[in-house]
Amino acid sequence: MSRDYKQYTDYLFKQVPMFQNVGASAYKEGLENTMLLDEHFGHPHKSFHTIHIAGTNGKGSCSHAIASVLQESGYRVGLYTSPHLVDFRERIRVNGEMIPEDYVMDFVDNEREFFEPLCPTFFELTTAMAFKYFAEQNVDVAVVEVGLGGRLDCTNIITPDLTIITNISFDHMQLLGNTLAQIAKEKAGIIKPGVPVVIGETTDETRPVFLATAETQGAPIFFAEQYRQSRHYDFELKGSYQTKNLQTILCAIHHLKNIYKIGDDAVQDGLLHVTENTGLRGRWQTLQTHPTVICDTGHNVGGISYVATQLKEQQCDTLHIVFGMVGDKDVSSVLQLMPRHATYYFCQASVRRSMPSNDLTKLAQQHELHGTTYDSVAAAYISALKSAKPDDLVFVGGSSYVVADLLCFLEKKHQISTIVAK
């Protein structure tokens, strides 16, 4: 009897609490389930090297770039990231190839009798699946992105070769704390005894937290802001915020060279082929030209501050912005950053956490942002594209889930066009 992959992913999304759908209620403090799952599968994470990456923004770009460099260096590389944009399998890759559909279905069929009584969260179960898959695939090293926070994140059972914390800004305050120092303390929870840690960006509030934690753990600490690279490297990822990410990546690679065989040519090739090597999408990604369409997954004050600045610098006749957010972000502070001269298409993504587009439109008007309201990302995008002239720019963003809905819509549109053409 044939199996339907979509039914299995629907089961995963609905059976276990998934943060991108329900938010804070899917977050479970403590590592009890993670430990039980890890023991059940025979501690798979102990069979490969790991690099652990946390941070409010930039951890996805850094994870993919470092994985790409390691691949170019000849290593078999596992990559575990979140959230996915189109397909669940984007979260778990080996040398850029997504975990097979059959593996996901077999995992559910073979293991549900064990895991269902535990009532794990979606991320707990997905992490167990990833580590099991990486072990069976005999990866040399896995680049593991923290899901949320750090100290109590279920990825925190690993003892990596290098720990990276990209930056700290306000996000998920209801779970991680109301000050930058409190959030930094949670993320610093991934610093392990004796394991070197690279810090991407600091503030007066966060730097002492990292220094104190590193000292307590006996972990050598390095600040990317102080790192000076003698060679210039071209970077495929073009968002203005990638300048800071690149500094963090190069500092991390400098220290990884003490552990792995990484040549300068592999660094350059890896940085130039991140999307091809790893499948990364949604980072200031150009989807078409005439009119230019760009999407970006920046979704909090720290991330959107860079996006908003870059949008204000764009040379175009008219700026069209398809925009939606989830309701548990600091929406007002984000809207305060956005360009006022643009035409807006306010929308809501298809996850339950999305802020209703009517509410977003009303709040945006208070910040002198004006436009039209739509009940879906696709409807907003179609309207923006119809209104845009060849020399205009259409930007789609505000949330990872807005970008996800756009990419899903474009893929379905492409599939239909292919079928019609045949």
For 274-287, the pLDDT digits (tens) are 999 999 999 999 99
Average pLDDT over residues 45-64: 95
- 155 and 102, same domain (yes or no): yes
Quick one: pLDDT band at residue 421, thresholds 50, 70, 90? Answer: low
Q: Which amino acid is at 128?
A: A
For the chain, state the CA radius of gyration: 21
pLDDT band at 352 (very low <50, low <70, confident <90, very high): confident
My answer on whether 82 and 199 are in the same domain is yes
The two three-digit tokens of residue 266, written as one number: 């592999």
Query: Do 198 and 308 belong to one domain?
Result: no
* DSSP code per residue over 47-88: GSEEEEEE-SSSHHHHHHHHHHHHHHTT--EEEE-S--SS-G
Domain end (from 248, 278, 308) = 278
Domain boundary among 278, 294, 317: 278
Strands 49-54 and 77-80: unpaired
CB contact set of 273 (below 8 Å; sequence gap of 6+)? 68, 72, 236
Q: Percentage of the chain surpassing pLDDT 70?
A: 93
Contacts with 216 (C-beta within 8 Å, 6 or more apart), sequence order: none
Q: Is 94 helix (H, G, I), strand (E, B) or coil?
A: strand
Mean pLDDT (the chain, rounded): 91
Predicted pLDDT of residue 59: 92
Q: In 152-204, where does DSSP find H-type helix?
A: 173-176, 180-187
The CATH number that applies at residue 308 is 3.90.190.20
Range of the structural domain that residue 392 is part of: 285-421
- Whether the per-residue pLDDT at 24 is higher than 70: the answer is no
pLDDT tens per residue, range 94-108:
999 999 999 999 999
pLDDT of residue 28: 55
Higher pLDDT, 390 or 183: 390
Please report, for residues 166, 167, 230, 235, 385, the alpha-carbon distance to residue 57 in angstroms, rounded to integers and kept in the order given.
Answer: 7, 6, 26, 18, 29
Q: Locate tokens 């720290």: which residue?
A: 302
pLDDT confidence tier of residue 22, bands split at 50, 70 and 90: very low
What is the per-residue pLDDT across 105-144, written as a single tens digit (0 to 9) for each?
999 999 999 999 988 888 999 999 999 999 999 999 999 9
Mean pLDDT across 46-59: 95
Model confidence band, residue 413 (pLDDT cutoffs 50, 70, 90) = confident
Q: Binning pLDDT at 50, 70 and 90, where does residue 15 land?
A: confident
d(CA 35, CA 41): 10
How many angstroms separate the Cα of 193 from the Cα of each of 147, 188, 350? 21, 12, 42
Q: Of 260, 278, 296, which closes a domain?
A: 278
For residues 164 and 269, membership in a common domain is answered with: yes
- Are 21 and 66 contained in the same domain? yes
Confidence check: pLDDT of 170 > 80 = no
Dist. CA 263–CA 260, nearest whole Å:
10
Residues 14 and 125 in one domain: yes
> What is the reported pLDDT for 26?
45
d(CA 340, CA 335): 9
Q: What is the mean pLDDT of residues 391-395?
A: 97
pLDDT reading at 18 higher than 90: no
Asked whether residue 193 falls in the same domain as residue 228, the answer is yes
Of the chain, the percentage scoring pLDDT greater than 90 comes to 75
Structure tokens at 344: 């807006």
pLDDT value, residue 172 = 46
* Chain centroid to CA 287: 19
Query: What are all long-range contacts of 259-267, with beta carbons under 8 Å and residues at least 24 apart?
Result: 259/49, 259/161, 259/162, 260/70, 260/73, 260/75, 260/141, 261/73, 261/74, 262/69, 262/70, 262/73, 263/73, 264/231, 265/72, 266/69, 266/72, 266/73, 266/74, 267/69, 267/72, 267/233
Looking at residue 4, its pLDDT comes to 93
At residue 265 the predicted structure's pLDDT band, cuts being 50, 70 and 90, is: very high
pTM over 0.85: yes
CATH code of the domain covering residue 10? 3.40.1190.10
How far is residue 152's CA from residue 172's CA, in Å, rounded to a whole number? 14
Residue 238: both structure tokens together: 């073009």
- Residue 272 sits in the same domain as residue 342: no
Whether 270 and 69 have beta carbons less than 8 Å apart is answered as yes
Cβ proximity of 32 and 124 under 8 Å:
no
Q: Based on the domain organization, do 358 and 245 belong to the same domain?
A: no
Separation CA 125–CA 130 (nearest Å): 9
pLDDT at residue 341 in the model: 92
- pLDDT, one tens digit per residue, over 188-207 is 999 999 999 999 999 899 99
The answer for residues whose C-beta is within 8 angstroms of residue 126's C-beta and 6 or more apart is 12, 82, 91, 92
Q: Do 257 and 403 belong together in one domain?
A: no
Structural domain total, the chain: 2
Per residue in 292-330, pLDDT (tens digit) is: 999 999 878 888 888 999 998 998 999 999 999 998 888
194 and 69 share one domain: yes
Q: Pick from 114, 152, 117, 150: which is nearest to 132 by CA?
A: 114
Q: Are residues 16 and 91 located together in one domain of the fold?
A: yes
Per-residue model confidence as pLDDT tens digits over 363-384: 999 999 999 999 999 999 999 9
Give me the mean pLDDT over the 48-71 stretch. Answer: 96
Q: What is the pLDDT of residue 19?
A: 43
Q: What's the pLDDT band for 253 if we cut at 50, 70, 90?
A: very high
Q: What is the DSSP string of 376-416?
A: SHHHHHHHHHHH--TT-EEEEESSHHHHHHHHHHHHHHHHH
Q: Is the pLDDT of residue 149 over 90?
A: no
Which pLDDT value is given to residue 414?
A: 74
Q: Residue 41, class by beta-carbon neighbours within 10 Å (0-12 exposed, 13-18 middle, 19+ buried)?
A: middle
Smallest CA-to-CA distance from 297 within 403, 151, 170, 169 is with 403
